[in-house]
Amino acid sequence: MGGEVEEERGGRASAASFWAWCNVNDDKKAYGAVVLTRLIYAGMFLVQKAAFDGGLNPAIFVFYRQAFATLCLAPLAVSLEWKDAPKLSLLTFCEIFVLALVGITLALNLNGFGLLYTSSTLAAASLNSLPVTTFLLALLLRYLKVNAILLPDRSRIVYTYLPICENVLTNTWSNQIVHESVTTIR
Say if residue 104 is in the same domain as residue 152.
yes
78 & 104 share domain: yes
Among 68-77, 135-144, 151-160, the range of highest mean pLDDT:
68-77
Residues 6+ apart with CB under 8 A from 147: 153
**77 and 47 co-located in one domain:** no
> Is residue 176 very low, low, confident or very high in pLDDT (cuts 50, 70, 90)?
low
For residue 45, is it left (φ>0), alpha (ψ between -120 and 50) or beta?
alpha
Per-residue pLDDT band for 30 (boundaries 50, 70, 90) equals confident
User: Are 63 and 34 part of one and the same domain?
Assistant: no
CA 144, CA 172: separation in Å to the nearest integer? Answer: 32
Shared domain for 68 and 101, answered yes or no, is: yes
> How does the average pLDDT of the chain come out, rounded?
75
Percent with pLDDT over 70 in the chain:
72
Residue 118 pLDDT greater than 80, yes or no: no
Residues 68 and 14 in one domain: no
Say if residue 74 is in the same domain as residue 104: yes
pLDDT given at position 185:
56
Q: Which domain holds residue 3?
A: 1-55
For the question of whether the overall pTM of this predicted structure is more than 0.85, the answer is: no
How many distinct structural domains can be found in the chain?
2
Q: Are residues 105 and 179 in the same domain?
A: yes
